[in-house]
Structure 1
Amino acid sequence: MDDKYLFASVLIKINQNQLALGAAMDELTIWAEKQGASDVAGHIRDALETLDQNQEFISLALLSVSTDFKGE
């Protein structure tokens, strides 16, 4: 497999993992709130905000990489 395609594949898998972790953290936030642990829920939300901010950059990078492959 070409290194560029391998790199793109790894980026896609990392992105999928990040999305899955974010979804799991959302569920934990809901659970923590129901348990009365609003401080824990707040910390989880802070971490989710970081994931969301990074997601935009990752999406743009993936778009750039995929555009490069289409041009070849």
Structure 2
Amino acid sequence: MPTNDLIPSLLYRLNENQIAIAAAVEELALCVDKLGHATVADNVRGALATLDLNLAHITRGIADLMND
């Protein structure tokens, strides 16, 4: 695979991993919340919000690289 194709492909897979990890962490936050640790769950969701804010920009950037 040429280097020009490798970088977007790697970034795409890293982005997919980030989305999967965020989903898993959200599930853990739900469990923590049910155990009565609402503050911890809220802190986790706050960190996940940062991922969500950056997701659209990252996805657009990867799409641009893949289209070049």
Q: Same fold by TM (over 0.5)?
A: yes
C-alpha separation in 1, matches of 2:3 and 2:19: 24
The runs of at least 4 consecutive aligned structure 1 residues that moved more than 2 Å come to none
Q: Give identity over the alignment, percent.
A: 37
Q: What corresponds to 1:2 in structure 2?
A: 2
Contact residue 5 and residue 66 of structure 2 kept, 8 A: no
C-alpha separation in 1, matches of 2:35 and 2:44: 14
C-alpha separation in 1, matches of 2:32 and 2:42: 9
C-alpha separation in 2, matches of 1:44 and 1:4: 36
Q: What corresponds to 1:28 in structure 2?
A: 28
Q: Which amino acid aligns with 2:34?
A: K
Contact residue 32 and residue 40 of structure 2 kept, 8 A: yes
Q: Which amino acid aligns with 1:49?
A: A
Q: Which amino acid aligns with 2:54?
A: N
> In the alignment, is residue 38 of structure 1 matched against residue 38 of structure 2?
yes
Alignment TM-score, normalising by the size of structure 2: 0.93
Q: Which amino acid aligns with 2:56?
A: E
Q: What corresponds to 2:51 in structure 1?
A: 51
Gaps of 5+ in 2: none
Give RMSD over aligned pairs.
0.8
C-alpha separation in 1, matches of 2:12 and 2:48: 19
Contact residue 33 and residue 41 of structure 2 kept, 8 A: yes
Alignment TM-score, normalising by the size of structure 1: 0.88
Q: What corresponds to 1:15 in structure 2?
A: 15
